[in-house]
């Protein structure tokens, strides 16, 4: 099993550009999450999804959009990139029950210059 796969691993954007961070999982998990982690700080939840077609905002959703058209994929869209979005982005997934653990991707390092 590949687990949770994120692409790209690194990306540099210019201010105002747009991009999509890809996340796919092959574990048939219904819950998926996007987090960002600024240098030296903790993880902040951006968006999450409890199943295909269902998404909801987390703690820091401004400047981002998500979609969940399939169980496997949960892309994160950045529109009009800003320097404040320079961060490491982690995608994660799990089953819904409380005892199920969270699986993380390896992260995307994004710099907006």
Partner 1 sequence: DAKTTQPNSMESNEEEPVHLPCNHSTISGTDYIHWYRQLPSQGPEYVIHGLTSNVNNRMASLAIAEDRKSSTLILHRATLRDAAVYYCIPRGNYGQNFVFGPGTRLSVLP
Residues that bind partner 1 (CB under 8 A): 31, 33, 35, 42-45, 48, 50, 56, 58-59, 90, 92, 94, 96-99, 101-107
- Least Å distance between CB 54 and partner 1? 10
Minimum CB distance to partner 1 smaller for 99 or for 113: 99
Minimum CB distance to partner 1 smaller for 15 or for 102: 102
Minimum CB distance to partner 1 smaller for 62 or for 99: 99
Question: Token pair for residue 19?
Answer: 């991009």
- Least Å distance between CB 2 and partner 1? 15
Q: DSSP characters for the chain?
A: ---EEEE-SEEEE-TT--EEEEEEESS--SEEEEEEE-TTS-EEEEEEEEETTEEEE-S--TTEEE--SSSSB--EEE-S--GGG-EEEEEEEE-SSTTPPPEE---EEEEE-
- Least Å distance between CB 69 and partner 1? 19
- Least Å distance between CB 88 and partner 1? 8
């Amino acid at each position: 099993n590949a687990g949770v796969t994120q692409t790209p691993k690194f990306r540099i954007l210019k201010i105002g550009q747009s991009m999509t961070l890809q996340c796919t999982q092959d574990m048939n998990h219904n819950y998926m999450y996007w987090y960002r982690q600024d240098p030296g700080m903790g993880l902040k939840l951006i968006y999450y999804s409890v199943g295909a077609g269902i998404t909801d905002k987390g703690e820091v959703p401004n400047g981002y959009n998500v979609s969940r058209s399939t169980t496997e994929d949960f892309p994160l869209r950045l529109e009009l990139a800003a320097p404040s979005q320079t961060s490491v982005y982690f995608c994660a997934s799990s089953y819904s029950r409380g005892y199920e653990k969270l699986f993380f991707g390896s992260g995307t390092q994004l710099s907006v210059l």
